Amino acid sequence: MLKLKEMAKKQKGNLILLGVYAFFSGASILGQAYLFATIIDGVFLKGVPFSDITTLLAGLLFVLFARTLFNYLIGKTGIKMASRVKRGLRQFLLRTYSNTTLQSSIHGQSGQKVSVLLDAVDKVDSYFSKYIPKIFQATIIPVLIFIVIFFEHVPTGVIILITAPFIPIYMVVIGFKTKDKSEEQLHKMAAFSGKFLDTLQGLTTLKLFGHSQKQKEEIRKSSLEFRDATMDVLKIAFQNSLILEFVSMLSIGLIALEVAIRMIIFQDLSFYTGFLMLILAPEFYNKLKELGSAFHTGKGSIGAANVIEEELENTFAPVTWGEEHLDEKTPPTIVLSKAGFRYGDAGFSLTNINLVIHPYENVAIVGKTGSGKTTLLHVLAGLFPLTAGKILINGNPRDMYKEEEWFGGVSYISQSPYLFSGTIAENIAVGSRHSTTMEEIEHAGEKAGIAEVVRSLADGYDTKIGEVGRGLSGGEKQRIAIARAFLKRPSVILFDEPTTGLDLYTERILQESLDELSRNATVITVAHRLHTIQRADKIMVMEDGKIITAGTHQELLNHALYKRMVSVQQGGA
């Protein structure tokens, strides 16, 4: 549960500071009022000479300065609290996202996630930078003022006692409405961001299929919904300040009327006291009004915190890791025992997977499209958590080991590896956890067979490639991924073989690179080429999320499904 209150309580030091500052700020407001009343009373009614009030004027100046100073300190403390909380929240969200990279990317849109990470977290800001400081000011200062008013002139105190409670009561009523509306607004905002990014990334597809007009319409609709939700929140905010303004004006008017009647008609109230009341009453209601608007922002922040929490609940529970050491450089024995994995509650599932992969073995996974080969590769890589059964590495549950040592030994070459926006060199260097020299990168590029392509580019390894690796073909992207593997020298290689036919040259390079890598590693390939399948030490045939049979090529030739698949391959070749 993401309780903003709990987070605030963790910053005890700052809360105490806020209380102290608020007290002194209240004291300077009172001092200011007393000095004002004394000076005006002395100069205009008692005819005190100007020279006698210079010390009072100096005091007034001092008090005004103190009031400004404490207000500044209150604001600063609030911002300090907010930035600490926001930093913590963002780090937490980022950690959650990155711990569950693949799992969470299954759900939702990236734009939506960015919106939660940036906008919703920013919304939480005002809880700490505005709401909490105002709560301190709006409770401590009015109480101080109220005590003084009661002490000086009881009837004004009584009027305040009757009218003031309306403000908090009204606020409580309005607060709940705001919370819901503001949650809705953030949802709309996230939906809008998500839709926008999604459309941007799929622009080519949309254009090709003539859907861009429809998508434009949807973005328009999404943005209008966001506008309406924003307007709703603003409407409540304006209504809110109108009512607060109204109640406080009415109360101040009442106090002024009472003071005037006492001074002019009954003449039983001194100018000094009456004037003091007229200075203090607006200060009192101003603070209460500020509490009202702070309450509004506070509830908005709580709404935002709920949105963040929902987002966190939507991501998978991360794979947890232990502290045991694992030798990254020696291939481990991998055993899956009754292992299962399921996408979501009712999605596709892998069931009862039993297999043993010995060090340096060359394993091929085959099966029809959609049989679960890629999913099994993800599970083997440790990107998806098992939902049933066990995965043992060298006889121990995998989650006993340190995360970085497991991943330090694994290279996963997917069908379309992700390239970050940056240079080719930077993208290859991703493969190493240590800093790499240009020589090492060039060497890896050479081994991966990308060097020739790079040489043909004007900027060579410094050529910038865009987001999603614009400007490189699928085969080239895979070769960059292989170059990463050459830097990393993994002990386990997971390879999703290209389904599309590569040209002979590229195919030979890929084969040679993998052969070299496999000398020091176990290789598990989702295989499409007969060549790969025939050379494998072990072939696993998948259907509907299960391994239906396993063996060598010779052994499997008696298997009907396998034979059919192979003959299709041969027909294609």
Q: Which is nearer to ligand ADP, 374 or 511 (CB)?
A: 374
Query: What residue type is assigned to position 66 of the chain?
Result: A
What is the DSSP code string of 132-146? HHHHHHHHHHHHHHH
Q: Which residues, 6+ apart, have CB-to-CB distance to 160 below 8 Å?
A: 146, 149, 251, 255, 281, 284
Q: Which is nearer to ligand ADP, 322 or 370 (CB)?
A: 370
Interacting stretch for ligand ADP, rule CB under 6 A, among 311-319, 363-371, 379-387, 409-417? Answer: 363-371
Cβ atoms of residues 545 and 351 within 8 Å: yes
Q: Which is nearer to ligand ADP, 171 or 530 (CB)?
A: 530
Q: Which is nearer to ligand ADP, 89 or 377 (CB)?
A: 377
Rounded to the nearest whole angstrom, what is the least distance from the CB of residue 209 to ligand ADP in the complex? 21
Using a 10 angstrom Cβ sphere, with 0-12 exposed, 13-18 middle and 19 or more buried, the burial of residue 162 is exposed
Do strands 334-342 and 388-393 pair parallel, antiparallel, or not at all (unpaired)?
A: antiparallel
Q: Interior CA angle at 404 toward 398 and 408, to 5°?
A: 95
Distance between CA atoms of residues 358 and 552, nearest Å? 14
> Per-residue string for binding with ligand ADP, 79-108, x by CB under 6 A?
---------------------------x--
Residues 372-431 that bind ligand ADP (CB under 6 A): 372-375
Per CB under 6 A, 370 contacts ligand ADP = yes
Interacting stretch for ligand ADP, rule CB under 6 A, among 55-63, 168-176, 362-370, 507-515? Answer: 362-370
Interacting stretch for ligand ADP, rule CB under 6 A, among 295-303, 343-351, 390-398, 559-567? Answer: 343-351
Cβ atoms of residues 491 and 522 within 8 Å: yes
Cβ atoms of residues 304 and 123 within 8 Å: yes
Q: Which is nearer to ligand ADP, 165 or 347 (CB)?
A: 347
Rounded to the nearest whole angstrom, what is the least distance from the CB of residue 468 to ligand ADP in the complex? 18
Rounded to the nearest whole angstrom, what is the least distance from the CB of residue 375 to ligand ADP in the complex? 3
Distance between CA atoms of residues 141 and 277, nearest Å? 15
Rounded to the nearest whole angstrom, what is the least distance from the CB of residue 377 to ligand ADP in the complex? 8
Report the Cα 72 to chain-centroid distance in Å: 30
Distance between CA atoms of residues 40 and 276, nearest Å? 10
Choosing from 322, 347, 397, 501, the residue that interacts with ligand ADP (CB under 6 A) is: 347
For residue 424, what are its two tokens? 């080719």
Interacting stretch for ligand ADP, rule CB under 6 A, among 56-64, 217-225, 227-235, 340-348? Answer: 340-348
Interacting stretch for ligand ADP, rule CB under 6 A, among 22-30, 93-101, 314-322, 341-349? Answer: 341-349
What is the H or E stretch that residue 340 is in? strand 334-342
Q: Which is nearer to ligand ADP, 354 or 499 (CB)?
A: 499
Q: Which residues, 6+ apart, have CB-to-CB distance to 310 below 8 Å?
A: none
Q: Give the residue among 352, 331, 365 at the shortest CA–CA distance from 524.
A: 365
Q: Which is nearer to ligand ADP, 333 or 569 (CB)?
A: 569
> Per-residue string for binding with ligand ADP, 123-152, x by CB under 6 A?
------------------------------
3-class DSSP assignment, residue 524? strand
Choosing from 367, 409, 445, 475, the residue that interacts with ligand ADP (CB under 6 A) is: 367
Size of residue set near ligand ADP by CB under 6 A = 12
Do strands 538-543 and 546-551 pair parallel, antiparallel, or not at all (unpaired)?
A: antiparallel
Binding site for ligand ADP (CB under 6 A): 106, 343, 347-348, 367, 369-375
